[in-house]
Amino acid sequence: MPTSWPQQSVSSWPRPRFPPWRRRAHRPPPRRPARPERPGPTTGAVSAIAEIRDRSGVWRGASGVADLATGAPVRGDGRFRAGSVTKVFVATTVLQLVGERRLGLDDSVEQHLPGLVPGGANITVRQLLNHTSGLWDPTNESGGIFPELFDPAVFRAWVADGGLRRTVTARELVAASTAHTPNFPPGSEWQYSNTNYALLGLLIEKTTGRGYGQEITRRVLRPLGMTDSLFPGTASTIPGRHAHGYWTIVDETAPVRKTYVDVTEHNPSWAGAAGELISTTADLVRFERALLNGQLLPQWLMREMTSMVPTEPGAHQLDYGLGLARYQLSCGPVLGHNGGIFGFDTQLWGTADRQVALSYTGRGDEKDEAAQLAAMRAFLETAFCGGR
């Protein structure tokens, strides 16, 4: 699986990503955005739920079904897998430890996790946070921890062999990464790698004596009242109300057949600190609002978090900071992250005044996925810019 940002959204790929949307001219955001008529990319998707919060109040929406088998309508207050939105929580916790002088952004990996990463003396905490370490990503690259899952026969065999329930530890992920040649020397380029956040999870554990999930719960989830969010570890289920997520098998026979496989229940340990969080739109909006309004980090650490590097040389459509990205909409930039994990796609973006969370369960072939991406982009434009 490729690690570069793909040319289109593939909703069921087990990887976090940012779609390379086209740049538009900057315009100041309107005071009151138009409220979307529906919550997002329902074009071919199974379901979509969203929440928008600003000073004028809260808008929530839901569309589609929670389960293809029963046809039950999706609930807007249900849980979902948030994928790489997890990274913002991990980064916030690491930066809190930096503020407490228990870690330094320019500390090396070797200082805190000796012997774990070859060349770790040349990789800093900052480079892990902003994906400039050069470490290879075994969750996204061919030859990594997943077989070629877009091959229908391979996917079916992998599921039958228990692939969805396999436990992959952070150290196993790091070992798979370091067995491969790094992509580039540390600090010389940018390339997204879940290995970086597997290491940050281990770093939190080494520094605090608690697992990253426990520490984030203690520092962020509980203080903010995020009672519907959790780190499942190796548990394969989503507790409580939730939508089902699906993987589309496309058999290129005549006629072409699409089969939707329910992948809701799976062991997310492979994603770990890079993407295992389960949450709700209300909880994510609450977190985004607290973060962007200075409730979780002091101003000097927010400046560090929003110190960006381009994800593409010479372009600033999408820049990446310390676990937080900046994306350019037609009316100006928003800060946040997105996430993709088996069956679920999540978008969390905001400004200090307005925050938007969207989760959708996509399905279909490349044409279907492109339509869902276009609908999602239109939803964000409407939510932030009034649909202009």
Catalytic residue of the set 84, 177, 269, 330: 84
Question: Shortest CA distance to 48 belongs to which of 69, 70, 73, 71?
Answer: 73
| Active-site residue flag, 11 | no
d(CA 62, CA 50): 7
Tokens of 137: 């990503």
Tell me how far apart the alpha carbons of residues 94 and 105 are, in angstroms, rounded to a whole number.
9
Q: Decide: 133 and 196 in contact? Cβ < 8 Å.
A: yes
Tokens of 362: 């996509």
> From the CB of residue 151, how many other CB atoms can be counted at a distance below 10 Å?
12
287 vs 54, 70, 85, 202, CA distance in Å?
13, 33, 11, 23
Burial of 107 (0-12, 13-18, 19+ CB in 10 A): middle
Convert 185-217 to b/e letters by CB count within 10 Å (16 or more is b). ebbeebbbbbbbbbbbbbbbbebbeebbbebbb
Concatenating the DSSP letter of every residue in 283-325 gives: HHHHHHHHHHTTSSS-HHHHHHHT--EESSTT--SEEE-SS-E
Integer Cα distance of 117 and 208 in angstroms: 20
Bridge partners (DSSP) listed for residue 57: 54
Task: Give the active site residues.
Answer: 84
